[in-house]
Amino acid sequence: MANEISLPLYLRTARKNTIQRAFDATLLFLLVSLLVYRLLFLKNHGFVWLLAFLCESWFTFTWSLIVSTKWNPAEIQTYPENLERRWFAELPAVDMFVTTADPGREPPIMTVNTVLSLLAVDYPADKLACYVSDDGCSALTFHSLVEALRFAKLWVPFCKKYNVQVRAPFRYLLADPMSTSSANSEFKQDWKKIKADYEQLCLKIKEAGRESAPCDLTGEFGVFANIETGNHPSIIKIIGEHKHETEGDEEVPHLVYISREKRPKYPHHFKAGAMNVLSRVSGLMTNAPFILNVDCDMFVNDPQVVRRTMCQLLGRENETDVAFVQYPQCFYNGLKDDPYGNQMIVLIEYLGHGLAGLQGPSYFGTGCFHRRKVIYGVWPDHANDPARNHTLTKVMIILT
Ligand SMILES: O=c1ccn([C@@H]2O[C@H](COP(=O)(O)OP(=O)(O)O[C@H]3O[C@H](CO)[C@@H](O)[C@H](O)[C@H]3O)[C@@H](O)[C@H]2O)c(=O)[nH]1
Ligand SMILES: [Mn+2]
């Protein structure tokens, strides 16, 4: 036991905020005094004071809610380096979902970068599968993913060999590491090669986008011939299958393309509908106990993210304690000093840490790991009861 405590998977520590609390308590006292003053002299001033009183009461109420949310802020620290020493069983599998809807507004090269950043995370490749849902039913998106997988076979080993931090190539390749003294000649050579290969990939996708069809719509691509975006049957294609042919860092996870059935008379429910199909299809193919969803305009900026999540999900005594782990969104290329509040500092830094001290954040949409069980509509107490939970029966399908 002593060993386990000295090797934590995660720690939740309270943040000190005595000064902030004193400040908030003073403000609350002043606000309540103002309301009492308004009430006492209401009859001398009439309607305007009543209006002011109502507005200030509403302000005090919402302000109190916010203050109480951030009253007990906490930090969560994870220790992925302890994972193997604390979790003796095999690491669990994770199905990673990417949703895209329109190759015009969401250029395929962006989706490709999201997918590459996911395929390259530091986690056993045979435990990962990436499913891309394409609501645009676009041959170009499919073609780009086929090309992306070819590049992934170089990109994933490169990232793991050099412990690359940001594994979306368009961000990583922006910096020129040649000038740093630590770069040795082997790295320089590999870096030049990977940059050239990535430029080649971009070029291929760009040229394919210029044509009315990215390639001959025959063979694998035949299903896209004469297809109508909002009126077509389901298309499911296994782009890449992890077959244990390579070893360790050379391995690339499964990559599956899905364009769900759409009919004009039936509402498709946008991302929610796509997520529904993704969970059903992945449930039949790999049925990982954990799922991650990422929008196609996001990428993973920490290769340890799956291991960090496992620290929080596996490190609990009871699995019903945590249903999901939600990561905040950050944005690159923001304006200096963030004049429009795009980085959502208040939401993430103040309210987010406050919520971490309570029960944890709410579900934001993208960047969230769920236990598969929790989205199947089963009460936590019944999740492991096979009699009540036939949906969780394991289905094994051999990928062909
Ligand atoms: O018919 C659709 C429409 C959208 N999407 C995808 O859904 C995601 C989010 O859609 P977007 O229009 O980009 O919404 P945002 O407001 O940018 O996204 C935020 O808000 C959404 C809903 O409020 C959440 O689902 C997202 O995760 C969250 O990032 C994107 O990957 C889209 O490709 C589909 O798959 N099918
Ligand atoms: Mn978006």
- The ipTM (two decimal places) reads 0.95
CA 270–ligand 1 middle distance (angstroms): 8
What gap in Å lies between CA 65 and CA 160, rounded to an integer? 45
Q: What is the pLDDT of residue 386?
A: 58
149 is a domain residue: yes
298 lines ligand 1 (CB under 6 A): no
Who surrounds ion ligand 2 at CB < 5 A?
Answer: 297
Q: Which domain holds residue 313?
A: 92-329+364-392
CA distance 345 to 333: 16
Is 55 among the domain residues?
A: yes
Cα(271) to centroid(ligand 1), Å: 6
Co-location of 282 and 146 in the same domain:
yes
> Could you give the dihedral angle defined by the CA atoms of residues 37, 38, 40 and 43, in that order, rounded to the nearest 10 degrees?
150
Instruction: Indicate which residue's Cα is closest to atom 21 of ligand 1.
Output: 365
Query: Are 131 and 99 within 8 A, CB to CB?
Result: no
3-state secondary structure of 334: coil
Is residue 359 one of the residues assigned to a domain? no
Residues 139, 259 within the same domain: yes
Q: Which atom of ligand 1 is nearest to the CA of 365?
A: 27
Regarding whether 105 and 55 lie in a shared domain, the answer is: no
Q: Please report whether residue 346 resides in a domain.
A: no
> Which ligand lies nearest the alpha carbon of 295?
1
Q: Are residues 372 and 235 in the same domain?
A: yes
Q: Residues 264, 139: one domain?
A: yes
CA distances from 161 to 122, 197, 316 (A): 11, 17, 32
Cβ contacts of 282-285, under 8 Å, gap ≥ 24: 282/95, 282/97, 282/129, 282/131, 282/256, 283/372, 283/395, 284/395, 284/397, 285/129, 285/254, 285/256, 285/397, 285/399
How many A from CA of 162 to the centre of ligand 1? 33
Q: Which atom of ligand 1 is nearest to the CA of 296?
A: 31
Best CA proximity match to 112, nearest among 132, 129, 139: 132
**Element containing residue 371 per DSSP (H, E):** strand 368-371
Task: Indicate whether 168 belongs to any domain.
Answer: yes
Q: DSSP 3-state assignment of 189?
A: helix
- In the chain, the number of structural domains is 2
Cα R_g (the chain), whole angstroms? 25
pLDDT computed for residue 382 by the predictor = 66
pLDDT at 380: 62
Question: Interior CA angle at 143 toward 140 and 146, to 5°?
Answer: 150
Q: How far is the CA of 295 from the centre of ligand 2 (A)?
A: 7
Nearest ligand 1 atom, CA 268: 1
What pTM, to 2 d.p., does this model score? Answer: 0.90
- Residue to probe by mutation, ligand 1, list 141, 271, 297, 330, most atoms within 8 Å of CB: 271
The Cα 72–Cα 16 span in angstroms is 9
Integer CA distances (angstroms), 177 to 131, 164, 181, 185, in order:
32, 12, 9, 11
| Token pair of 254 as six digits | 């499964």
Q: How many angstroms is it from 395 CA to the middle of ligand 1?
A: 29
Report the atom number in ligand 1 closest to the C-alpha of 133: 35
Compute mean pLDDT per 10 residues along the chain, 400 residues long, and list them: 69 93 97 96 91 97 96 95 89 97 96 98 97 97 97 97 96 84 83 97 95 82 91 97 78 97 96 97 96 97 97 88 92 86 85 92 93 81 56 34
The ligand with the least distance to the CA atom of 114 is 1
| Residues belonging to the chain | 400
- Do 175 and 274 sit in the same domain of this protein? yes
If asked whether residues 261 and 126 sit together in one domain, one would say: yes
User: What pLDDT was estimated at residue 389?
Assistant: 43
Residues 230 and 116 in one domain: yes
